[in-house]
Amino acid sequence: MSRGLGIDVGGSGIKGAVVDLATGTLLGARRRVVTPSPATPRAVAKAVARLVARLEWEGPLGCTVPVVVQDGVVRTAANIDPSWIGTDGAALIGGATGLPVTLLNDADAAGIAEMRLGAGRGRKGVVLLLTFGTGIGSALFIGGRLVPNTELGHLVMWGGSAEHRAAASAKTAEDLSWAKWAKRVDKYLAYVENIFWPDLLIAGGGVSRDHQQWLPLLHTRAEIVPARFRNNAGIIGAALAAGRGSGR
C-alpha cells in the first residue's frame, strides 16, 4: 500500500493524517493541534513538527496553507499572519520536521484530491472546485491540469472581496437562512461562470455536508456537485501532491 502524509493548516487548527494514496482513505485517526496565535511562520512550522511527530511519520510531507505559493515561497497573506509574505515556507517546515516538504495552496490541494479520487475524477474540460468556509477557496483545472493559486474568493463584489458576503462564515455571522445565503452564492457563481465557463463546479468545504440544503437552490449553467472528501480534501490532496508514500 502506498501511503502519504497530508497536513492542512487552517485558521484555528492544523490537521493531519496518513492517507492511502490509491483511495484517499485516512489511515487512522485525523490528528489536530491548535494553530498558534499569532500564526507566524516559525510558530506554525513548530506546530506542524509536533503534529508530524505525533503521527510518527517519516517520508515526504505535503502541507497546505491558505495563501498563494510559488515554488514553496509564500506570496500573499490575506488569511494568515503577514510575516509569511516572502517566506520559503517549504524550506522552513522542512527544517522543522526534517522531511522533504511540498507546500501548496489549501484549495488547490482540495482540488487535487477531488480531481484524482473524488467528484471530479475522469472529468475533462474546465472544472472548478470552490471551498466555502471562513473564506472561499478555488482550484481551477483545464483538461485535468491545475491552474494554481487562482484565489477566486477575492474577486471584487458587493464593494469588497466576494468571500466577505458569500463564504459560509457570512451565513453563520449574519444568521442567514439557507435560501438567503444561496442567493448570494448564486450571484457569486454567475460572476465566476461568466469569466471561466466551467463544465463542472464542485462545491467543497464543511458546508458541503449540507449540500441538500443549498445546491438545489442554485441556478448555475454548469453541473454542480458536492465534493466527496469534504473537510478532509486538503489533507488528502496534500499527501497526493507530495508524491509517493513511505510504504511503511
Q: Is residue 92 part of a domain?
A: yes
Residue 246 lies in a domain: no
Give the long-range contacts of residues 21-27, CB within 8 A, separation 24 or more.
Answer: 21/239, 21/240, 21/244, 21/245, 23/117, 24/113, 24/116, 24/117, 24/118, 24/228, 24/229, 24/232, 24/236, 24/240, 26/232, 26/235, 26/236, 27/3
Same domain, 141 and 84: no
Same domain, 80 and 37: yes
Q: Check residue 1 and give its pLDDT.
A: 58
| CB-facing half-sphere around the CA of 181: CA atoms within 13 A | 24
Q: Indicate whether 115 belongs to any domain.
A: no
Please indicate, yes or no, if residue 187 is contained in any of the structural domains: yes
67 and 37 in a common domain = yes
Closest listed residue to residue 44, CA positions, set 93, 78, 7: 93
Domain of residue 100 covers 3-108+235-241
Note the pLDDT tens digit of each residue in 197-219. 999 999 999 899 999 999 999 99
The answer to whether 160 and 188 are in contact (CB under 8 A) is: no
**Residues 131, 50 share a domain:** no
The residues facing 6 across adjacent strands are: 17, 62
pLDDT at 79: 78
47 and 69 housed in the same domain:
yes
Is residue 116 domain-resident?
no
Q: Is 28 helix (H, G, I), strand (E, B) or coil?
A: coil
For residue 231, the model assigns a pLDDT of: 87
Instruction: Compute and round to an integer the Cα radius of gyration of the chain.
Output: 17
Q: Tell me the pLDDT band of 78, cut-offs 50, 70 and 90.
A: confident
Task: Inform me whether the pLDDT recorded for 244 exceeds 80.
Answer: no
Indicate if 192 and 126 belong to the same structural domain: yes
pTM of the shown model: 0.94
Q: Report if residue 83 sits inside a domain.
A: yes
Task: Kindly list the distances between the CA atom of residue 90 and the CA atoms of 52, 62, 73, 191, in Å, as whole numbers in the listed order.
Answer: 15, 9, 7, 34
Check whether residue 71 and residue 146 sit in a common domain. Answer: no
pLDDT tier for residue 247 given thresholds of 50, 70 and 90:
very low
In a domain, 113, yes or no: no
Residue 107 has phi, psi (to 5 degrees) of: -70, -35
Q: Has residue 248 been placed in a domain?
A: no
Domain count, the chain: 2
Residues 51, 127 share a domain: no
Both 159 and 191 in a single domain? yes
| In contact, 168 and 189? CB cutoff 8 Å | no
pLDDT in tens, 4-31: 999 999 888 999 999 999 999 999 999 9
CATH of the domain at 144: 3.30.420.40
